[in-house]
């Protein structure tokens, strides 16, 4: 039986250890090390002094392994994992690691037990990489469509320091907060959008169905129509004759804008424009500051260097214009400028937040200070969303009811005027 020399690090933390063990193959040796709670950093077969990976590539795989690899490839092609599988995977992995399993054994168990096709495909691919001796962070990096740079770097830091469990918990909390924020935004916009559709349906019913019939009745009775009724009739005629062209033009304009936004210059230009619009600017700046502060705090708490943490945090910002300003601030920090002063030049951070950040820098509590700032930004964004929801709902209702009231007034005034002229 081959003898393998290894150097490994305990998953619970501590100094690296070296030793040797007997195993039928390199994969079996890796499994035995993982069951002992060790994360191998090097593993070589002592016979002939050649690495086990090079030697193990000579024999052909057994039929069951080949069949499993073919099935895995077919499954991966049919069920390609996406970013939606990131949080469920981290939650399942954290539960098993918290229960005492090593990361490798946890992923092996998930690859067998998970029923969701995309998530199972992801776990199977990760276990295949781990069984070949790769670390978890390297295995995650092979799936950029699922795991972003900050996740990979945090996992690598957790592996290096033996704090993988804490890193997973912080990542889960971070992505859960992001998911809750998106759900809150969609929930805040759901009612105004519903009111808009309902009001639009009522207005279209008046313009296209009720008003043409009423106009025919008033014309048959004779008499002069009031000014409000004439405006409504002209609007109805315009909608009937040119509504289709206006709709087609709007669709073409929207598609052209979408194609332009997909270009780098268009994305930057549209995001710059968003920072000048009153309502959109409020959400874009608040959400960007919240995401940047929270992500930077998570990265610094897990041992990522300040330079790398700033680069990773800026990449999580969706608005390209804000990201460009944060990139310039990062360059200034790397040149020796303080973080609070560099972020102040971006003109997207409130003065009070910058003062708190400066105090955190001076006291050496940057990560906790950023955590407190992120908490304050989250509360501020929640208040802004509540105010925005109430304001937009009230505004939509006022506009819709005002237009409906105008339609009712135009119709009633026309009926009364035609009726009085008919009596005379």
Residue 424 has a pLDDT of 46
- What are the residues facing 43 on neighbouring strands? 6
38 pLDDT exceeds 90? no
pLDDT at 90: 92
Output the pLDDT for position 357: 92
Tens of pLDDT, residue by residue over 1-27, are: 678 788 877 655 566 778 887 777 777
Residue 356 pLDDT: 92
pLDDT of 334 > 50? The answer is: yes
d(CA 181, CA 204): 35
Provide the pLDDT for residue 65: 46
Domains assigned to the chain: 3-48 (3.10.20), 83-173 (1.20.81.30), 177-424 (1.20.81.30)
Q: How confident is the model at residue 223 (pLDDT cuts 50, 70, 90)?
A: low
37 pLDDT above the threshold of 70: no
- Whether the per-residue pLDDT at 54 is higher than 70: the answer is no
pLDDT of 68-120, one tens digit each?
444 444 444 457 888 889 999 999 999 998 888 888 889 999 988 888 889 99
Mean pLDDT, residues 34-55: 60
pTM as predicted? 0.63
CB 115 within 8 A of CB 97: no
Query: Span 347-363, mean pLDDT?
Result: 90
Are 345 and 328 in contact by the 8 Å Cβ rule? The answer is yes
Strands 17-22 and 3-10: antiparallel
pLDDT confidence of 200, banded at 50, 70, 90? confident
Given this model, what pLDDT does residue 423 score? Answer: 53
The pLDDT of residue 251 is above 90:
yes
Whole-number pLDDT of residue 60: 41
Q: What percent of the chain has pLDDT over 70?
A: 85
How far apart, in whole angstroms, are the C-alpha atoms of residue 139 and residue 128? 9
Of 222 and 265, the structure prediction assigns the larger pLDDT to 265
Poorest-pLDDT segment among 34-38, 288-292, 318-322 = 34-38
């Amino acid at each position: 039986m081959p003898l393998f020399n290894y150097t490994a690090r305990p998953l619970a933390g501590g100094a690296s250890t070296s030793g040797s063990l007997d195993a039928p193959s390199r994969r079996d040796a890796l499994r035995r090390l993982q069951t002992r709670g060790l994360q191998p950093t090097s593993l070589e077969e002592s016979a002939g002094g050649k690495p086990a990976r090079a030697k193990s590539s000579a024999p052909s795989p057994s039929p069951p392994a080949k069949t499993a690899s073919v099935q895995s490839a077919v499954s991966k092609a049919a069920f390609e994992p996406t970013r939606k599988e990131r949080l469920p995977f981290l939650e399942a992995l954290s539960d098993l690691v918290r229960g005492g399993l090593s990361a490798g054994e946890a992923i092996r168990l998930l690859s067998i037990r998970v029923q969701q096709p995309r998530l199972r495909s992801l776990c199977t691919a990760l276990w295949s990489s781990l069984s070949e001796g790769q670390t978890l962070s390297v295995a995650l990096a092979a799936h950029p469509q699922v795991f972003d740079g900050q996740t990979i770097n945090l996992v690598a830091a957790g592996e290096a320091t033996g704090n993988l469990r804490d890193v997973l918990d912080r990542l889960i909390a971070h992505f859960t907060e992001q998911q809750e924020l998106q759900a809150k935004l969609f929930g805040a916009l759901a009612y105004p959008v519903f009111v808009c559709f309902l009001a639009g349906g009522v207005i279209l019913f008046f313009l296209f169905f009720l008003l043409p019939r009423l106009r025919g009745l008033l014309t048959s009775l004779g008499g002069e129509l009031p000014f409000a009724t004439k405006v409504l009739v002209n609007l109805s005629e315009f909608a009937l004759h040119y509504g289709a062209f206006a709709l087609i033009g709007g669709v073409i304009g929207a598609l052209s804008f979408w194609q332009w936004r997909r270009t780098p210059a268009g994305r930057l230009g549209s995001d710059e424009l968003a920072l000048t619009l009153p309502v959109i600017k409020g959400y874009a700046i608040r959400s960007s500051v919240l995401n940047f502060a929270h992500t930077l705090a998570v990265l610094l708490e897990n041992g990522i260097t300040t330079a790398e943490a700033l680069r990773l945090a800026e990449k999580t910002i969706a608005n390209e214009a804000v990201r460009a300003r944060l990139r310039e601030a990062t360059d200034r920090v790397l040149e020796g400028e303080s973080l609070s002063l560099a972020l102040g030049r971006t003109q997207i951070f409130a003065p009070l937040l910058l003062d708190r950040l400066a105090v955190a820098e001076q006291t050496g509590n940057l990560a906790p200070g950023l955590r407190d700032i992120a908490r304050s930004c989250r509360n501020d964004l929640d208040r802004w969303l509540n105010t925005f929801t109430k304001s937009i709902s009230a505004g939509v209702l006022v506009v819709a009811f005002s237009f409906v009231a105008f339609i009712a007034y135009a119709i009633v005034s026309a009926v009364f005027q035609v009726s009085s002229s008919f009596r005379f």
